[in-house]
């Protein structure tokens, strides 16, 4: 099974991935990049810092996070997060931690095994879209168990019985010959970004066509702590690889 990718769909994707076009999205994107840089720099000390704030560098991370934190009274009745992230359920991929956005009202998180596109994930993103959140990030990661399950099924031809729906979803996102789990993870992100950008959901469609919400594609490296963003050209290439099968 492969995915249909159309010229119009790619045009919409390019528009939606143009983060610079919308100032609030650009600002949110910059804060995520800065937050991840601080996390990479300080992650060794991160946990001890949260406990005792002993390291000066880690304090920088803590200060950054604190600076973004709202007063509790401000969020009693509503939320105003400027980022929404679809990430894997993996306990090492916690968006608030890897972007140094630790606290309330910062990141609207949607998570499932493999950060796959499902109807439920799509509808969950309606909430931040309805709260003027300017940036959505699709954040995949390397060493992902769901990707391993898909890769194993491809290598052994044995149907996965534990996560059949997840693996079937992933089977569609990467060219058949790809059996490397990390590659499947990248293809999945490209696929998910495309599907959000071309969502028929009325709220999502409205914010994307109205240029009120942008989408960034990302891969998180558990070993280094670094989040690498994928540009439109790379995402497009992967989508075409898959659709030309």
128 within 8 A of 108, measured Cβ to Cβ: yes
- Closer to Zn ion by CB, 144 or 184: give it: 144
Of 103, 102, 187, nearest in space to 138 by CA? 187
Angle at 125 between CA 151 and CA 213, to 5 degrees: 110
- Which is nearer to Zn ion, 58 or 97 (by Cβ)? 97
SS3 192: helix
Taking alpha carbons only, the member of 145, 146, 150 closest to residue 175 is: 150
Count of residues touching Zn ion (by CB under 5 A): 3
Contacts of 30 (CB under 8 A, 6+ apart): none
Which stretch in 69-77, 117-125, 137-145, 156-164 sits in contact with Zn ion by CB under 5 A? 137-145
Kindly tell me which residue out of 19, 25, 144, 170 binds Zn ion, with binding defined by CB under 5 A: 144
Give yes or no for residue 90 binding Zn ion (CB under 5 A).
yes
Contacts with Zn ion, 148-187, as mask; x by CB under 5 A: ----------------------------------------
Stretch that binds Zn ion, among 18-26, 141-149, 175-183, 209-217 (CB under 5 A): 141-149
Q: Which stretch binds Zn ion (CB under 5 A): 34-42, 46-54, 81-89, 212-220?
A: 81-89
Give, in order, the Cα–Cα distances in Å from 45 to each of 51, 58, 59, 60, 156: 10, 6, 10, 11, 41
Residues that bind Zn ion (CB under 5 A): 88, 90, 144
């Amino acid at each position: 099974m492969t995915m249909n990718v159309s010229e119009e769909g790619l045009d919409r994707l390019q528009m939606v991935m143009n983060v610079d076009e919308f100032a609030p999205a650009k600002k949110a994107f910059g804060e995520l990049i800065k937050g991840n840089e601080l996390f990479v720099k300080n992650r060794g000390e991160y946990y001890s810092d949260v406990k005792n704030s002993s390291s000066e560098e880690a304090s920088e991370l803590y200060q950054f996070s604190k600076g973004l934190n709202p007063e509790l009274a401000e969020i009693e009745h509503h939320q105003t997060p400027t980022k929404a992230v679809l990430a894997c359920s993996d306990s090492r991929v916690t968006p608030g931690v890897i972007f140094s956005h630790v606290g309330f009202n910062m990141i609207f998180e949607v998570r499932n095994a493999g950060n796959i596109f499902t109807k439920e994930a799509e509808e969950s993103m309606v909430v931040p879209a309805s709260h003027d959140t300017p940036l959505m990030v699709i954040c995949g990661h390397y060493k992902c168990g769901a990707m391993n399950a898909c890769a194993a099924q491809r290598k052994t031809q044995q149907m996965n019985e534990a996560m059949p729906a997840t693996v079937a979803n992933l089977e569609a996102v990467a060219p058949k010959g790809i059996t490397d789990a990390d590659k499947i993870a990248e293809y999945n992100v490209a696929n998910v970004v495309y599907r959000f950008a071309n969502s028929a959901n009325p709220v999502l469609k409205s914010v994307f066509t109205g240029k009120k919400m942008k989408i960034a594609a990302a891969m998180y490296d558990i070993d280094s702590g670094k989040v690498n963003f994928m540009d439109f050209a790379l995402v497009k290439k992967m989508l075409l690889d898959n659709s030309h099968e």
